[in-house]
Amino acid sequence: MHDSFLKVIGRMLAVVPQSTAAKNVPATDAMTPREIWLVLIGLMSGMFLSSLDQTVVGTAMRTISDDLNGLSLQAWVTTAYLITSTVITPIAGKLSDICGRRPIYMASILIFLIGSILSGFAWSMPTLAVFRAIQGIGGGGLMSLAFTIIADMVAPRERAKYQGFFIAVFGSSSVLGPLVGGFFAGANQILWIDGWRWVFLVNIPIGAIALYMVWRFLHVPQIKHNVKIDWIGVVTVILAVVPLLLVAEQGREWGWLSWNSIMMYTLGILGIVGFIVAEARMGDAALIPLSLFKSTTFTQITVLGILVGFAMFGAMMTIPLFLQLVVGSTPTESGIQMLPMVLGIMMATAIGGRVISKTGRYKALPVFGTGLLVVAFVWLVQINKDSDLWFLMIGMLIVGSGLGLMMQTLTIASQNAVEPRQVGVATAGATFFRQIGGTLGTAVLFSVLFGKIPEALKDIFSRSDTQAQIGAALNDPAIINDPANAGIIEMFTNSSSNPESLADSLSGNTSFLNGAADVLKAPFVEGFALSAQSVYFVALVISIIAFVLSWFVKAEPLRDKSGHQEAAEAAAAAH
């Protein structure tokens, strides 16, 4: 039954059949640089599609939620995408091992485009959340399978040179995203369609290019694996991950010890236990085979990936907030001001790729990468409300440099640590755990951030100088009669300067700070800056742990043949 099911999927998705030679003859020749580049363009288009979408939507979300009358529901739009993209990662990896990379990657593009079209015509926030969940199914496959396909085509030692371009795509989309999102969000209509809807519809031409390039040029011969789909693993990983991601995203609003949160913890723990039991019974056919963790290197790299994901996502989520709330930048400006981090990632990735290619070694890169993260967070923990923009940019450059040395190195190390036939599940597994680390990092660091704000505001408003300045401002006719100050004055009146109420205002909607007099918003700016120090201190502790672990990583020699070459040779030897 499983075999026939997979054959149907393969026939449906493999739009143009590969040649008979590609199907039946295990070619062991390495692909030419031209062939690699043609495939690479398609893969980069798919990755650009996914990574650009996330930054564009984040910039335009305020406009979208206002138009759909669902400001309080906007978190669910993000959460829906996060959950499905995370859950699908190991599933897509396993399916690609069974059905082949090409059909599953093409299916991911198609699903992403369907979700984009539906999202572009959403009529409410709940429907947008559902359609974004569909997008997430495609996006999760795009992000993980691209690195797996490169592993099939290129030997580990040469792989870093090509994977560096993926990191460059990720970085460039981070810069372009706010610009594109700001443009569409600010446009009333384009071709008689609301401007914000083009945030999703713009994916159509990009996706069409990616789909054509993959369909036309991705013809890596497939080595058949006689295994079945681990349906129990699929169900249990959903039961394990979805509740934990929900509580990670919504726990601050629900309360970490509320009944909703406790129920999610319980379901998540039961799901984890069920998943481990199911995977142990399935052996090598498991969704994430437990045999992967017999490799000391893979286990160490996975733990390191979780820690780096924690610090990486935490930094990338909180620094834009600091730029907007403390520096006073617009969302579009904050995206441009993140350029030093992007440049750091791109330069360090290029350097790391050359080191790996020339020496065949990667042991030092995680050490230097985590070391730079430690230096970066030591730097950032010193920021305050008076810090100059250049000071923050130096910190971002160092963070980016550390991440650039780590991101591709961890992927290559995890792929190199397993057998060629397990590259798909190993890559998906490493990506999956890094995303889990990122989700935990975002949840924990945001909880630290907004948990510290009431305490910081209480201290600030208890100071005599603050009370005198606010009191004088509220008695100044010029300030009172300025329409730009109406929101913050109303907030002061409603909260009676209660720190908890003021903190709730800052975490829920910061629009009352826009255009307000400096003297009125100064306490909030200072409170946020002080709370951000606590965030970067936690990230510093995590980075130190990662730095210590990186010294003990068992670096195995990089293989000199591509995944397909090794798999083809093994298949030929078996016959």
Q: Report which secondary-structure segment, H or E, holds 193.
A: strand 193-194
pLDDT beyond 60 at 143: yes
Q: How far apart, in Å, are the Cα atoms of 168 and each of 36, 45, 309, 406? A: 17, 12, 18, 14
More confident position, 79 or 208: 208
Q: Summarize the confidence of residues 73-91 as an average pLDDT.
A: 81
Coil, strand, or helix at residue 254?
helix
Q: What is the pLDDT of residues 404-420, one digit of tens each?
A: 888 888 888 888 888 87
Higher pLDDT, 286 or 132: 132
Tell me how far apart the alpha carbons of residues 575 and 567 are, in angstroms, rounded to a whole number: 13
How many CA atoms does the CB half-sphere of 385 hold within 13 Å? 14
Q: So what's the pLDDT on residue 19? A: 35
Phi, psi torsion values for 190, nearest 5 degrees? -135, 120
pLDDT in tens, 32-72: 777 778 888 888 888 888 878 777 777 677 678 777 776 55
Structure tokens belonging to residue 500: 């908890």
Q: What confidence score (pLDDT) does residue 11 get?
A: 46
The 10s digit of each residue's pLDDT in 508-533 is 556 666 677 778 788 888 888 888 88
Angle ∠(142,411,570) on CA atoms, nearest 5:
90
Q: What is the pLDDT of residue 564?
A: 64
- pLDDT of 574 higher than 70: no
> How do strand 193-194 and strand 189-190 relate by DSSP bridges?
antiparallel
The 10s digit of each residue's pLDDT in 271-305 is 999 989 988 888 877 888 888 888 888 999 999 99
Confidence of residue 107 (pLDDT cuts 50, 70, 90): very high
Q: Any residues with CB less than 8 A from the CB of 162 and at least 6 apart, and which? A: 36, 40, 150, 154
**Tell me, what's the pLDDT at 273?**
92
The residues with which 190 forms a beta bridge, in sequence order, are 193
Share above pLDDT 90 across residues of the chain, in percent, rounded to a whole number: 17
Question: Quick one: average pLDDT of 433-441?
Answer: 82
Cβ neighbors of 481 (< 8 A, separation 6 or more) are none
Q: What is the pLDDT, as a whole number, of residue 7?
A: 47
Residues 229-286 pLDDT 10s? 778 888 888 888 888 888 877 777 788 889 999 999 999 999 999 989 988 888 877 8
Asked if residue 138 has pLDDT above 50, the reply is yes
How does pLDDT run across 480-514, given as a tens digit for each residue?
A: 877 877 777 777 776 655 555 665 555 555 666 66
190/199 Cα distance (integer angstroms): 11
